[in-house]
Structure 1
Amino acid sequence: MGQTMNGFHLPPYARTMGMEVDHVEDGGVPVIAMDFAGRVQGRPGFLHGGAIGGLLEMAAHAALRAELDRQGSAFRIKPINISIEYLRGGVEERTFARGEVIRAGRRVANVRVEAWQGDRTRLVASSWMNFLLAPPKEN
């Protein structure tokens, strides 16, 4: 299992990229953070777009899992697609991302995610991510 805070587990990929649950907001929604390091650098002094995309995806998963847990649902989460808008270059500082579940139906969920550094009103990137909600595996 990945790092945990208040019961939220991040996968090994997140740990490899230096991501962690920074804190939990608004009824249990985790905010995921990633420090700047060589492993997430693209061009000199800036975050790699793939690292930003990975952070957005982890925040979407965490927000949806928190919502499903709140509902008492054991659905498995399967990504369908992600659409990312890169709004400005991420620089050499801690980056945060938080997802908001827009809809969690019986088969599909839609999550909006925003990433920022320092000033939450100046976004680095945003995304929409859609998930298939599958019944839990039976052993």
Structure 2
Amino acid sequence: MASELKIGQLQETQVERAYVVAQAGMPRLTLASWRQVTSGSERRNFIVAADINDYVRGLCHARMENHPLAGRLFDIAIFIVVSPFREQEIAAKLFSNVKKQAIDANCNYLRVWTLRPENWDLLDDQDYRHRWDHGSMHPL
């Protein structure tokens, strides 16, 4: 199945299907809030893994940061995989894709935040994003 995945930017036609995955990791996320963020330019920061039927199986929110300690940082605030089978394969392929993007962008580090329901509220909190003490840092 993982070889049948399409990984790329969240498309407008995938917004509703991706919401189901996002809500699995962030139960307080409302559909209205999800639609608002994914209808604007922020949608380009969402990367999805979709199966051959275009069901979203994995979702991440990633963007570049100029971190005060890490320098150029590829920051993954949301990384969720939901599938009835082969979750590890899907996660590995999605992670491999974002890691390649980080390397191609000449980032010094890639950080994956620890998934917590409040992450959605912290996406725009620059002070939180510039901290060093959360998530898992991966030197590149």
Q: Which structure shows the bigger proportion of residues in helix conformation?
A: 2
TM-score normalised over the length of structure 1: 0.29
Q: Which structure shows the bigger proportion of residues in strand conformation?
A: 1
TM-score normalised over the length of structure 2: 0.29
